Amino acid sequence: MTSHTTGRSSDSSRYEIRLGGHLEPRWAAWFDGMTLTHADDGSTVLTGSALDQAALHGVLSKVRDLGLPLLAVAQLDP
Amino acid sequence: MGPLLETKLHVPRRHRGLVARPRLLERLDRGTEAALTLVSAPAGFGKTTVLTDWLTSVAAGQRSVAWLSLDQRDNDPAVFWTYLVAALRTAAPEVGAGALALLQSPRASTEAVLATLVNDLSALPDDVVLVLDDYHVVDAPEVQDGMSFLVEHLPAQVHLVAAGRADPALPLARLRARGDLVELRAADLRFTADEAAAYLTVAMGLALTAEDVATLEQRTEGWIAALQLAALSMQGRDDVPGFIAGFAGDDRYVVDFLVEEVLQRQPGHVRTFLLQTSVLSRLTGPLCDAVTGQDGGKAMLEALDRANLFLVPLDGRRRWYRYHHLFADVLRMRLQDERPDVVCGLHRRATEWYERSGDRAEAVHHALAGGDTARAADLVELALPALQKGRQEATMRRWLEALPDEVIRVRPVLSVGYAAALMVSGQVEGVEARLRDAEQWLTATPDRGHDPPAPATEMVVADDAGFHRLPSAISMYRAGQALLSGNVAGTVAHARRALDLAGAEDHLGRGGAAGLLGLAHWSSGDLDTGHRWYADAATSLEKAGHVSDVTGCAIALADIRVGQGRLGEAMTTYERALQLVTPDTGPVLRGAADMHVGIAGVHTEHGDLDAARRHLAASRDLGEHLGLPQNPYRWRVVMARIREAEGDVAAALGLLEEAQRRYVGDYFPEVRPVPALRARVLARHGRWADALAWAQERGLSVDDDPDYLREFEHLTLARALAARSAAEGRARSVSGAVRLLDRLLRAAEEGGRTGSVIDVLVVQAISEQARGDLPAALAALRRALALAEPRGHVRVFTDEGPRVGTLLRAVAAEGAAAGYARRLMAALGNGEDGAPVAEHLVDPLSARELDVLRLLGSDLDGPDIARQLFVSVNTVRTHTKNIYAKLGVTNRRAAVRRGEELDLMPRYRDHPGRAAVSDR
């Protein structure tokens, strides 16, 4: 992944959330407009910019509620 | 809060097509030996199903079952605990009345509520299982703390089951370590290959080969919701092998794939119904009709229920349902993806329906979800009075925080409501800004309709009556804030303004303002004015119909009377209020228990210990639910005085330590702080060094200026100094105290506080005695006796023990007030003669330590002792360490032996968990 700055406030960051299984792109709106991409290993990567901690936890609880295996969470450009 | 939703307390109906899962049921059975069973797994793992299955498998009569389905709204402590108690009462109607009463009262701590509840539960004859379903939605820290407390203090016959998608913030490691936790997790709940086969072929009646079953089990990884969806997709399908091959070959999110399959097989109108109603968290026929704009919602729900389309019935009458959570999420996503244009309209119609049916909370939820902030703000504004009355500050805060700030700022009623919510939760910051937001509308527009000059937008008001009360309310909140920050002059100024602005019929507003004025004057030591305002407040509150506040006012009025030395009037105040709350017909009202404690306090001061004991017993018999939150600590303070008068100093100190732990503040000035009471006992019984250490910790000095709020502490310091001087024979060390007492005396006389004056004179007498000036000592005592005789004070003299006895003899010999002095000497003699020699320890055990020591003599282990005393294991450990140190031993057996030698053991045999009572 290439990294680039978002220019948002310092509280917010770009995050990448990796899930087990393929989630279709139309779930993007459900995850508040995060981008969904499919990785070759069969996982799905959610990418969102300008997420603060509260928003990040909101996304994670949505992941939990769908019963999707959570593989990794990474901050992209701290 | 509104009426309770019965559906939340209903055990969900058992669904068809269950697979017998004996291994799980056995483990759940084992769980009833432990305090907590945790069922923790993602959505769709059959948590609710296995629990209902287990509950129905248990033979009837073996144990009662309480069920609570939690949702987002339970993140408010007031709501959560009310539902939890209501759930328990479905299983055991005799519990929780006291807890519910406490929940209605302002300023009752969660711990007080739970202690009362635990007390009730421990008296239950039979086992009760309480299931909390969807526990993961509860994330409010106040609720989680309360739950931790409850789990730690749960009586053995109560078992808690928490089911949810995330591990709760409970002390799991500790529970696990002591074998008090049984867990069912995802790995346990997944269908095994055999269970999957039984479910698909037997329960669902599908003709599948072993290979088909294996494929499905692998693709779904035993995820029950996915297997259910797969079974639905296959029912009535011709090409089952084709479906299985397609499913296995697709790597999409299992649920997504399967819901699509299921939806494709539904007729168009069913699909539309499912998508449209997915915005609802609970479904019932008329609500569905309102949202879809169609008829036949009830029939549709019944048809979906029959087709097993992921509907969960919420009651036994097929009126309320919800979709299975996982299914609902996928439906909602599809709705948002396919028809984003209709979502707001659906929420609007749901808002309207809930508004019509009077469920404001759900209406607010849908208005916010549909982005209709103006309507949400209207609804919140109209709901404010009920929320404030029901102490649902957390709900209030959550709603207000969900509204955009610019919406709140143009609504003065909401702005002031926000300020109130902040103040109640102790957040002073931000209060003034909200009050100013509201005020700018009031000053700019004396009457509504005119455009304010400064802000460009229009003011919005939904609650007209609330709007008219704002000028007075704003001043009242400012007065409250000033009082909290100790600014007496500011409190008086704002409260007077609030009173001027309050309408003649606004009794609640007038009562509140008068009460604040009373508090301000009382706090500054002007007792006469304080009493006058408080009496006004009591009258207004009674007019407002708040009879329950009358007892609170009585405590304030009587406390002021005691400060004035007018014991008789204090007694009359308590007795009148007691009559009011214990009517000849009808139930006894809350606060009655407090009145008995107040009366006991006056009897104690009069030296009538028998009457005092009777009233304390009466207070205890009424029960905690008929007492204000402060009663437990006040009860112990009075009992400690009785114990000290009896000569049982260790018990008195133990009671005061307990009082300190159970201390609950109110708005009253703390004119007799518990730690100071304890320091007095220490000073009077040879431990003046400890008392002086307390004084140093409090930053007290003989050079301080008099201040009514520190008067009691200063008098305590002077006592400790006099005791040191007497013990060390150093006259010089008490001269600072004598000067301090002179200043205190003048201040008390100026404030008309005769009660304080008598107290000061007594300490002056023993201080002068300590520095060898007998004439000065006798002069002070004579003045004190002259003031006290008509009022009947006893303990203020006799508490000081033999030193005062010597002086009393001298006064009696002179002939002045001889009769009174002789009566006091007699009281003093009785107390001394009858006193048991409690112990010969240098550092006596506290009452709590004695309790622990007694239990150390039993067979109970640490956790059992903790449970018996309602404390944590750590606390027991600390007590044990202290006991060993004080007894000079290093193990339990030696401690028990030493305790027997000191005659500490048998006296406590009959009173487990309570401060000891010696029988004489």
CATH number of the domain within which B904 lies: 1.10.10.10
CA gap A1, B504 in Å, rounded? 71
Higher pLDDT, B497 or B386: B497
Count the domains in chain B.
4
B567-619: per-residue pLDDT in tens?
999 999 999 989 888 878 777 787 899 999 999 999 999 999 999 999 999 99
B218-276: per-residue pLDDT in tens?
888 889 889 988 888 888 888 888 899 988 888 888 888 888 888 888 899 999 999 99
The residue type found at B123 is A
CA dist list (Å): B818 to B192, B567, B763, B811, B814 = 93, 22, 20, 7, 7
Cα dihedral sign, B285-B286-B291-B295? positive
Has residue B432 been placed in a domain?
no
Helix (H) or strand (E) holding B764: helix B754-770
Which B residues 339-358 touch A at CB under 8 Å?
A: 340
pLDDT of residue B843: 66
The answer to whether the CB atoms of B252 and A42 lie below 8 A apart is no
Give residue for tokens 């029960």.
B623
The answer to whether the CB atoms of B253 and A23 lie below 8 A apart is yes
Residues B907 and B916: beta-carbon distance below 8 Å: yes
Residues B745 and B760: beta-carbon distance below 8 Å: yes
B39 and B147, same domain (yes or no): yes
CA gap B905, B895 in Å, rounded? 11
Long-range CB pairs of B319-323 (<8 Å, 24+ gap) are B319/B284, B319/B285, B320/B7, B320/B282, B320/B283, B320/B284, B321/B282, B321/B283, B321/B284, B322/B281, B322/B282, B322/B283, B323/B277, B323/B278, B323/B283
Q: Which of B811, B834, B857 is the last residue of a domain?
A: B834
- Taking residue B559's Cβ as centre, other Cβ atoms within 10 Å add up to 23
B214 and B71, same domain (yes or no): no
pLDDT of residue B106: 62
Has residue B768 been placed in a domain?
yes
**Backbone dihedral angles phi then psi of residue B59, each to the nearest 5 degrees:** -60, 135
Q: Look at residue A4 and tell me whether its pLDDT is greater than 70.
A: no
Residues B561 and B570: beta-carbon distance below 8 Å: yes
The answer to whether the CB atoms of B325 and A65 lie below 8 A apart is yes
**pLDDT band at residue B822 under the 50/70/90 scheme:** confident
Residues 6+ apart with CB under 8 A from B239: none
Question: Which of A22, A42, A67 lies at the smallest CB-CB distance from B44?
Answer: A67
B101 and B124, same domain (yes or no): yes
**pLDDT band at residue B31 under the 50/70/90 scheme:** confident
pLDDT of residue B314: 85
B743 and B711, same domain (yes or no): yes
Has residue B893 been placed in a domain?
yes
Has residue B901 been placed in a domain?
yes
Whether chain B has a CB inside 8 Å of the CB on A53: the answer is no
The answer to whether the CB atoms of B166 and A64 lie below 8 A apart is yes
Whether chain A has a CB inside 8 Å of the CB on B255: the answer is yes
The percentage of residues in chain B with a pLDDT greater than 70, rounded to a whole number, is 92
Bridge partner residues of A43 (DSSP): A20
Domain assignment of residue B233, given as a range: 193-254
Name the residue among B13, B44, B11 with its Cα closest to residue B329.
B44
The answer to whether the CB atoms of A21 and B165 lie below 8 A apart is no
B805 and B681, same domain (yes or no): yes
**pLDDT band at residue B910 under the 50/70/90 scheme:** very low
Higher pLDDT, B837 or B354: B354
The predicted model gives B694-717 an average pLDDT of 94
Q: Look at residue B113 and tell me whether its pLDDT is greater than 90.
A: no
The answer to whether the CB atoms of A66 and B340 lie below 8 A apart is no
Higher pLDDT, B905 or B139: B139
Contacts of A27 in chain B (CB under 8 A): 256, 333, 337
Higher pLDDT, B917 or B766: B766
Nearest CA to CA, how far is A7 from chain B (Å)? Answer: 24
Contacts of A39 in chain B (CB under 8 A): none
Cα dihedral sign, B305-B308-B312-B315? positive
The answer to whether the CB atoms of B43 and A27 lie below 8 A apart is no
Q: In sequence order, what DSSP letters do the residues of B481-549 get, joined into one string?
A: HHHHTT-HHHHHHHHHHHHHHS-TT-HHHHHHHHHHHHHHHHHTT-HHHHHHHHHHHHHHHHHTT-THH
The answer to whether the CB atoms of A21 and B252 lie below 8 A apart is yes
Has residue B84 been placed in a domain?
yes
Contacts of B72 in chain A (CB under 8 A): none
Whether chain B has a CB inside 8 Å of the CB on A42: the answer is yes
**pLDDT band at residue A74 under the 50/70/90 scheme:** very high
Domains defined along chain A, listed by start: 13-75 (3.30.70)
Has residue B100 been placed in a domain?
yes
B280-314: per-residue pLDDT in tens?
999 999 999 999 999 999 999 999 988 877 888 88
Chain A interface, best mutation among B185, B256, B326, B335, by max A CB count within 10 A? B256
Q: Look at residue B835 and tell me whether its pLDDT is greater than 60.
A: no
The answer to whether the CB atoms of A26 and B44 lie below 8 A apart is no
**pLDDT band at residue B837 under the 50/70/90 scheme:** very low
Give residue for tokens 């000497």.
B825
pLDDT of residue A5: 40
pLDDT of residue B14: 61
The answer to whether the CB atoms of B253 and A42 lie below 8 A apart is no
Question: The domain spanning residue B681 has which CATH number?
Answer: 1.25.40.10
Find the range with the poorest average confidence among A59-63, B443-447, B747-751, B782-786: B443-447
**Backbone dihedral angles phi then psi of residue B96, each to the nearest 5 degrees:** 90, -5
Which B residues 360-379 touch A at CB under 8 Å?
A: none
Whether chain A has a CB inside 8 Å of the CB on B325: the answer is yes
B157-188: per-residue pLDDT in tens?
899 999 999 899 899 989 988 889 999 999 99
> Between A and B, how many residue pairs show a Cβ–Cβ distance under 8 A?
52
Nearest CA to CA, how far is B567 from chain A (Å)? Answer: 58
Beta B158-164 vs B181-185: how paired, if at all?
unpaired
Q: Which of B189, B218, B244 is the last residue of a domain?
A: B189
Chain A interface, best mutation among B134, B324, B337, B338, by max A CB count within 10 A? B337
The predicted model gives B552-573 an average pLDDT of 92
A10-61: per-residue pLDDT in tens?
578 889 999 988 888 888 888 888 899 988 888 999 998 778 888 898 899 8
The predicted model gives B448-466 an average pLDDT of 69
The answer to whether the CB atoms of B256 and A67 lie below 8 A apart is no
Nearest CA to CA, how far is B202 from chain A (Å)? Answer: 27
Query: In this structure, what token pair is assigned to residue B292?
Result: 């879809």
B735 and B752, same domain (yes or no): yes
Name the residue among B2, B163, B9, B7 with its Cα closest to residue B96.
B9
Query: In this structure, what token pair is assigned to residue B192?
Result: 């095994």
Q: Look at residue B917 and tell me whether its pLDDT is greater than 60.
A: no
Question: Which of B136, B223, B337 lies at the smallest CB-CB distance from A67?
Answer: B223
Bridge partner residues of A18 (DSSP): A45, A72
Q: Is B129 helix (H, G, I), strand (E, B) or coil?
A: strand
Q: Is A71 helix (H, G, I), strand (E, B) or coil?
A: strand
B10 and B153, same domain (yes or no): yes
CA gap B666, B879 in Å, rounded? 30
B514-525: per-residue pLDDT in tens?
999 999 999 989
CA atoms within 13 A on the CB side of B522: 29
pLDDT of residue B801: 84
B709 and B820, same domain (yes or no): yes
pLDDT of residue B911: 39
Q: In sequence order, what DSSP letters do the residues of B292-361 get, joined into one string?
A: HT-S-HHHHHHHHHHTT-SEEE-STTS--EEE-HHHHHHHHHHHHHH-TTTHHHHHHHHHHHHHHTT-HH
Whether chain A has a CB inside 8 Å of the CB on B72: the answer is no
The answer to whether the CB atoms of B340 and A29 lie below 8 A apart is yes
Whether chain B has a CB inside 8 Å of the CB on A33: the answer is no
Q: Look at residue B77 and tell me whether its pLDDT is greater than 50.
A: yes
Bridge partner residues of A70 (DSSP): A19
Whether chain A has a CB inside 8 Å of the CB on B705: the answer is no
Query: In this structure, what token pair is assigned to residue B836?
Result: 């048991």
Question: The domain spanning residue B112 has which CATH number?
Answer: 3.40.50.300
Distance of CA B124 to the CA centre of its chain: 22
Q: Look at residue B815 and tell me whether its pLDDT is greater than 80.
A: no
Nearest CA to CA, how far is B334 from chain A (Å)? Answer: 8
Question: Which of B166, B251, B333 lies at the smallest CB-CB distance from A22?
Answer: B251
CA gap B714, B248 in Å, rounded? 82
Question: Which of A24, A42, A65 lies at the smallest CB-CB distance from B256?
Answer: A24
Query: In this structure, what token pair is assigned to residue B18?
Result: 């269950």
Q: Which of B189, B209, B231 is the last residue of a domain?
A: B189
Mean pLDDT of chain B: 86
Has residue B617 been placed in a domain?
no
Beta B128-133 vs B64-69: how paired, if at all?
parallel
pLDDT of residue B854: 81
Name the residue among B374, B364, B372, B444 with its Cα closest to residue B411.
B374
CA gap B186, A36 in Å, rounded? 27
Whether chain A has a CB inside 8 Å of the CB on B229: the answer is no
Q: Nearest residue of B to residue A20 by CA position?
A: B253
Q: Nearest residue of A to residue B325 by CA position?
A: A65
Nearest CA to CA, how far is B337 from chain A (Å)? Answer: 6
Nearest CA to CA, how far is B168 from chain A (Å)? Answer: 14
B393-405: per-residue pLDDT in tens?
788 888 999 999 9
**pLDDT band at residue B836 under the 50/70/90 scheme:** very low
- Taking residue B442's Cβ as centre, other Cβ atoms within 10 Å add up to 16
pLDDT of residue B342: 95
Give residue for tokens 């309050």.
B502
The percentage of residues in chain A with a pLDDT greater than 70, rounded to a whole number, is 86
Q: Could you give the ipTM of this predicted complex?
A: 0.79
Contacts of B218 in chain A (CB under 8 A): none
pLDDT of residue B450: 47
Contacts of A22 in chain B (CB under 8 A): 251-253
Chain A interface, best mutation among B136, B137, B139, B333, by max A CB count within 10 A? B333
CA angle B785, B786, B791 (to 5 degrees): 85
B208 and B240, same domain (yes or no): yes
End-to-end CA distance of chain B: 50
B863 and B792, same domain (yes or no): no
Q: Look at residue B647 and tell me whether its pLDDT is greater than 80.
A: yes
Contacts of A42 in chain B (CB under 8 A): 251
CA gap B128, B495 in Å, rounded? 50
B683 and B771, same domain (yes or no): yes
CA angle B525, B531, B536 (to 5 degrees): 140
Helix (H) or strand (E) holding B161: strand B158-164
B205-223: per-residue pLDDT in tens?
888 999 999 999 988 888 9
Could you tell me the strand order of the sheet in which B181-185 lies?
B64-69, B128-133, B158-164, B36-40, B181-185
B69 and B155, same domain (yes or no): yes
The answer to whether the CB atoms of A66 and B255 lie below 8 A apart is yes
- Where would I find the H helices in B815-887? 818-834, 847-856, 862-869, 873-887
Question: Which of B42, B256, B340 lies at the smallest CB-CB distance from A64?
Answer: B42
End-to-end CA distance of chain A: 14
Whether chain A has a CB inside 8 Å of the CB on B297: the answer is no
Contacts of A32 in chain B (CB under 8 A): none
Query: In this structure, what token pair is assigned to residue B102?
Result: 């406490």
Whether chain B has a CB inside 8 Å of the CB on A43: the answer is no
Has residue B585 been placed in a domain?
no
pLDDT of residue B531: 95
pLDDT of residue B901: 67
Whether chain A has a CB inside 8 Å of the CB on B251: the answer is yes
pLDDT of residue B920: 34
Whether chain B has a CB inside 8 Å of the CB on A39: the answer is no
Residues B475 and B497: beta-carbon distance below 8 Å: yes
pLDDT of residue B418: 93
Q: Look at residue B919 and tell me whether its pLDDT is greater than 50.
A: no
Contacts of A67 in chain B (CB under 8 A): 42-45, 223, 225, 255, 326
CA gap B221, B234 in Å, rounded? 18
